Amino acid sequence: MEQKLDLEEIIAGCKKSDRRAQELLFRQLYGKMLSVCMRYISDKDSAQEVLQEGFIKVFDHIGAYDSKGSFEGWVRRIMANCAIDAIRKVRKDTLLSDNDRDFKYLPDEEEDLEEWELTSLKASHAMEAIEQLSPAYKTVFNLYVMENYTHREIAEMLGISEGTSKSNLAKAKMNLQSYLKKKFNHIAS
């Protein structure tokens, strides 16, 4: 019977390029990291390609992990960066765009945006709404809200100004509110 290794032992094995340890780490983190990639890339096949590339980078650079902070958080950042790199390759001009081609938010005079809270929504509806954002808005939203990057870090990563990052986040939030409000009005009808 095979003894189960803990995460620290798996990491130590990966640092020695032990294929068994690499396979164990891949299996242990596959689902969570695929979810990270899918936040940025809707197509599952493309997200899986990014995931594979991300794990190659994890294994190539695991020696740089200093055991300070969360290992999963360290891997998560690598996956997010790989996803951003993939988006840049495919849609470089779209990431720099400040325009939302999908839909516009036009608030009614009576509407109070403060009432609308995304946190009260079910995750499936929120993820569906995020998928409707333009690539520029979706990327900034994910980096800021999901990955906890600062606007300065996002600007550096994407080659945009901090102001554009802030603007894209604000517009993403307004578009999410608009989309979700329409969705729930439709469901309630």
Residue 123: its pLDDT value, please? Answer: 56
Report yes or no: 167 and 98 within 8 Å, Cβ to Cβ. yes
Residue 51 belongs to domain spanning: 7-91
121 shares a domain with 82: no
**Would the pLDDT of 103 be above 60?**
no
Neighbouring residues of 22: CB distance < 8 A, sequence distance ≥ 6: 13, 14, 59
- Long-range Cβ pairs for the range 15-24 (8 Å, 24+): 15/62, 15/63, 17/59, 22/59
Model confidence at 126: pLDDT above 80: no
* 131, 56: one domain: no
- The lowest-confidence range among 48-52, 99-103, 175-179 is 99-103
Among 91, 121, 153, identify where a domain stops.
91
57-61, 70-74, 179-183: the lowest-pLDDT one: 179-183
Indicate whether 85 and 125 sit together in one domain: no
* Same-domain check for residues 74 and 138: no
More confident residue, 187 or 133: 133
Q: What is the pLDDT of residues 162-178, one digit of tens each?
A: 999 999 999 999 988 88
Q: At 70, is the secondary structure helix, strand, or coil?
A: coil
- Classify residue 98: in a domain, yes or no: no
Q: Token match 């095979």: residue?
A: 2
Query: Which are the contacts of 5, defined by CB distance < 8 A and separation ≥ 6?
Result: 13, 21, 24
134 with 87, same domain: the answer is: no
Residue 131 has pLDDT above 50, yes or no: yes
- Is the pLDDT assigned to residue 121 strictly greater than 50? no
Structural domain tally of the chain? 2
Which pLDDT value is given to residue 86? 86
